[in-house]
Amino acid sequence: MKIEEYLSAMKKRCSRRKYTNRPIDSKYVKQLEDIIALFNKESGLNIKLVIGSGAELFNGFRKSYGLFVGVQNYIAMIGNKDLPDRMEKVGRYGEKIILEATAMGLSSCWVGTSYDKKAATTLCRANDTLDCVIAIGYSDEKHSLKERMMEYGMNRQSKAKEALIETEAPLPEWFNHGMDAVYLAPTARNLRPFVFKYKDGQVTASITVPTETAMIDLGIAKLHFELGAGGGSWEYGNGSYYCFDDKRKESDKQ
């Protein structure tokens, strides 16, 4: 998709935990499989789309603690244990898949712990590890009471956008657009465990709360910044730099 399409999907996306029994349209299954194959090639990950077996992971209170209902399908975010920057790539490419799925009219949710992990590890090859899964499918337009209660709780503990920024200079417009997109990024427990710094014309992104999934969250946030800022790219790693494209460099000189 183009940046504009990703941004549109970003504004529509929200985490959904209750799904209908409507099967994903076959044309969208094929599109998702093609997208995943492309992203696996780019990243070195071993992401897998699983259709019709979500009940194995989520059905029953003991598996999902009652947080997920009706999940039929999921995306297993798998990678080799020795793959450099694996967890950041899981965040970046998993979120790209979610935005592609959102544009197809599908609902989704990142799931770190509230599922039966043992049931999904059979998908792993030797030396692979399963970092998390993404529930995917169709949801009712109206959010359930439980979903609304969870959203309310998450929003109450959410950090202000200003708390995610460190700067010693007036911020350029493209940086503000990037941070607007970062604020839409999903993170575990809505902690937003990172900060984006603008200093001497350079941007870095760093972890501030070292949780188990912080690098996944950072990968998601860096992707959102990149899309909101209108292009460019990131180096991998905690504290890494945002790389401007030629068009951005010229606009900053003017």
List pLDDT tens digits, range 113-165. Answer: 888 888 888 899 999 999 999 999 999 888 776 666 666 555 545 678 788 99
Q: Report helix, strand or coil for 235.
A: coil
Strand partners, 234: 242
List pLDDT tens digits, range 1-53. Answer: 999 999 999 999 998 988 999 999 999 999 999 999 999 999 999 999 999 98
29 contacts 79 by C-beta, under 8 angstroms: no
If we measure between CA atoms, which residue out of 68, 67, 31, 63 comes closest to residue 49? Answer: 31
pLDDT at 244 over 90: no
What is the pLDDT, as a whole number, of residue 254? 46
Q: Report helix, strand or coil for 239.
A: coil
Strand partners, 167: 198
Strand partners, 203: 198
Least confidently predicted of 82-86, 161-165, 203-207 = 161-165
Q: Find the radius of gyration of the CA atoms of the chain.
A: 18
For each of the domains in the chain, give its residue range(s) and CATH number, in order of start.
Answer: 3-149 (3.40.109.10), 158-243 (3.40.109.30)
**Cα–Cα distance measured from residue 77 to residue 90, given in angstroms and rounded to the nearest whole number:** 6
| Amino acid type, 24 | I
pLDDT at 251 over 60: no
